[in-house]
Amino acid sequence: MNSSCYNCKKSIGKIQRRGTIKDIIRSGYKHPEGMLDTDNLCQECCDEIRRTQTQGQKMNERVSLAWQIVLCLIFSPAAFWRINKLQKFLIYFLIIIFGVTPLIIVLGFVFEESNRMYFLFGGYLFMYVAGHIFPLVWIINWTREYNKNSI
């Protein structure tokens, strides 16, 4: 069953992308007057609504926070690249990894041999937290910040 676009009356096939009134409202746009729940828009009309209602400004699409967390656990740089914070992430991450690791190793040799393993284990635990927990906190905060200005 083929439907037609509400705006331009062009035929929309089964495989073609289409926009419903829920998609338009969920994206933060105003739907055309008189459009019902059963009406569809073709992709060109959806893009035209996006262009006219943002006054030609390039707006970022919203990013799913759950997907960002999963992506951060799999490959952290990809998650930060999606929200344009890759450079900031790499700077923080390199400072923590290359600034703190040598310090922990050097301080580990200051202690007596009996306490050295505890200190090095504590350092390893800190590096685990720095490598996994800190990026998760950053990705949550930065994604929320990114989504405030997105549509």
**Whether the predicted pLDDT of 35 surpasses 80:** yes
- When mean pLDDT is compared across 27-31, 48-52, 56-60, the lowest value belongs to 56-60
77 and 137 share a domain? yes
Residue identified by tokens 């943002």 is: 54
144 and 82 share a domain? yes
pLDDT in tens, 116-133: 777 777 777 877 777 778
46 and 73 share a domain? no
89 and 143 share a domain? yes
**How much of the chain, in percent, has pLDDT values that exceed 70?**
89
Note the pTM of the prediction, 2 decimals.
0.47
State how far the Cα of 42 lies from the Cα of 125, in Å rounded to an integer.
Answer: 53
Q: Which domain holds residue 36?
A: 3-53
State how far the Cα of 111 lies from the Cα of 142, in Å rounded to an integer.
Answer: 39
The pLDDT assigned to 46 comes to: 82
43 and 75 share a domain? no
19 and 72 share a domain? no
pLDDT in tens, 51-63: 777 655 555 667 7
Distance of CA 72 to the CA centre of its chain: 9
- Residue 58 in any domain: the answer is no
**How much of the chain, in percent, has pLDDT values that exceed 90?**
0
**Whether the predicted pLDDT of 143 surpasses 80:** yes
Which amino acid does the sequence have at 87? Q
The residue ranking higher by pLDDT, 149 or 136, is 136
- Residue 60 in any domain: the answer is no
The pLDDT assigned to 1 comes to: 47
3-state secondary structure 39-96: CEEEHHHHHHHHHHHCCCCCCCCCCCHHHHHHHHHHCHHHHHHHCCCHHHHHHHHHHH
18 and 90 share a domain? no
Choose among 39, 37, 38: nearest CA to 8.
39
Residue 11: helix, strand or coil by DSSP? strand
Number of domains in the chain: 2
- The dihedral sign for the CA sequence 102, 106, 111, 116: positive
Residue 6: helix, strand or coil by DSSP? coil
The pLDDT assigned to 54 comes to: 64
pLDDT in tens, 63-101: 788 888 888 878 878 888 888 888 888 888 888 778 777
Residue pair 22/46 in contact (Cβ under 8 Å)? The answer is: no
